[in-house]
Amino acid sequence: MEYMNKQLLLNKRPEGMPKDDCWKMNEEMISTIRNNEILIEVKYLSIDPYMRGRMNDSRSYAAPAKIGDPMTGETAGVVIESKSKLFSVGDKVCAHKGWQTYIKVKDTDPALLKVPEADIGLSSFLGTLGMPGRTAYFGLNRVGKPKSGETLVVSAASGAVGTVVGQLGKIYGCNVIGIAGGPEKCAYVKDVLKFDECIDYKTNNLEDDLKSACSNGIDIYFENVGGPVSKAVAPLLNEGSRVPICGFISQYNEKDMMNVETPFHVFGSLNPKPEHRFFVVTEWMNEWEMATKEILKLVSEDKMRYRETITKGFENAPQALRDVLTGKNFGKQIIEI
């Protein structure tokens, strides 16, 4: 069998918001696989804020995407051909192999993760049950170290990571305050996800709203956005507070990151300093399976809810990334191939 693989290759590095000409569509035929290889037909492509950083050629926690290579990203699909003892035809897999519609890969590649059998849609293994869910789990547990009765504030609370952080916080007995953009997202966070409160940062009343919601101060702030939100949180942090820094999406399109006031400046200048650090989910790679099982159990017991924005069409990935960077998506952004 021959398969036409479509790839979106990184064509040039963006300045500010990435335009369509930053990518180039490429088509290649895949015909044969070798021993110990599998062929995956991609069903879903994950779109995440971190992708914007990988488009830059700057020092970061991960190597930048190379010009001419498929754009960095994770996909979920089904094995359609196998010359492997580890994978059978029909197995569902997540693969961190970039923006493409078919993936030919060695069966021992560390970028592969077998999806457990479950009654839950495959796309959710790119969101709540995938990398964003694990990021929330380890960031909160290992860096945030929540204790019952503490106040936890989560920015980008309706997003793929924030929803999981807040719901875990409630399960652990925290008082959970979300921050999100617009009445619809805030209502979802409060009424469906059952956070104690959700503050709309778009009402221009962030400082006062946050102060009244956090009358006992803030013990844990899970940072996803940076900018004015970090500044509103900073004066309310209690002594001994912890700040897991997952990202700062509001600043990802800045032309010169070296001159931007990041969360590290904001929290690092406080006295006393909160315990704060940037973390990456790969720090706990050997525990991923355990975390996914735990989250899967919560989802199946309806203790963990989530929402997805599914956009059809591989060619719409660039626009979907812009939507994520401007908060137009609701919940986890997925491309359906």
| Secondary structure element (H or E) that encloses residue 136, with its range | helix 131-138
pLDDT score, position 257: 64
* Type of residue numbered 268: G
pTM for the model stands at: 0.93
d(CA 320, CA 328): 9
Domains of the chain, by residue range, sit at 3-127+307-336, 131-282
Q: What is the DSSP string of 164-205?
A: HHHHHHHHTT-EEEEEESSHHHHHIIIIIS--SEEEEGGGS-
pLDDT score, position 145: 98
d(CA 193, CA 296): 16
pLDDT score, position 305: 97
For residues 139 and 224, the answer to whether their CB atoms sit within 8 Å is: no
**300 contacts: CB under 8 Å, gap ≥ 6:** 118, 119, 120
* Per-residue pLDDT band at 255 (split at 50, 70, 90): confident
Q: Please name every residue paired with 24 in a beta bridge, in sequence order, or none if there are none.
A: 9
Q: Determine phi and psi for 231, rounding to 5 degrees.
A: -65, -30
Specify the residue for token string 């999981």.
164
pLDDT score, position 118: 87
pLDDT score, position 254: 80
Q: Inform me whether the pLDDT recorded for 194 exceeds 70.
A: yes
> Which of these, 71, 70, 112, 114, lies nearest to 92 by C-alpha position?
114
pLDDT score, position 12: 96
Q: Inform me whether the pLDDT recorded for 84 exceeds 90.
A: yes
Residue 140: alpha-carbon gap to chain centroid: 14
Lowest mean pLDDT among 34-43, 62-71, 102-111, 312-321: 62-71
pLDDT score, position 249: 85
For residues 324 and 333, the answer to whether their CB atoms sit within 8 Å is: yes
Q: Is 303 exposed, middle or buried (0-12, 13-18, 19+ CB in 10 A)?
A: middle
What value does the mean pLDDT of the chain take?
95
Architecture of the domain whose range is 131-282: 3-Layer(aba) Sandwich (3.40)
Lowest mean pLDDT among 65-79, 142-156, 220-234, 240-254: 240-254
pLDDT score, position 237: 98
Going by their DSSP bridges, the two strands 237-245 and 218-222 should be labelled as parallel
CATH homologous superfamily of 3-127+307-336: Medium-chain alcohol dehydrogenases, catalytic domain (3.90.180.10)
The span from the first CA to the last CA of the chain, in angstroms, equals 20
Tell me what the mean pLDDT of segment 301-327 comes to.
97
- Cα Dmax for the chain: 65
Integer-rounded Cα Rg, in Å, for the chain is 20
Residue 36 token pair:
């110990």
Specify the residue for token string 């355990």.
290
pLDDT score, position 294: 96
pLDDT score, position 45: 98
d(CA 272, CA 241): 10
Q: What is the pLDDT of residues 277-293, one digit of tens each?
A: 999 999 999 999 899 99
Q: Please name every residue paired with 193 in a beta bridge, in sequence order, or none if there are none.
A: none
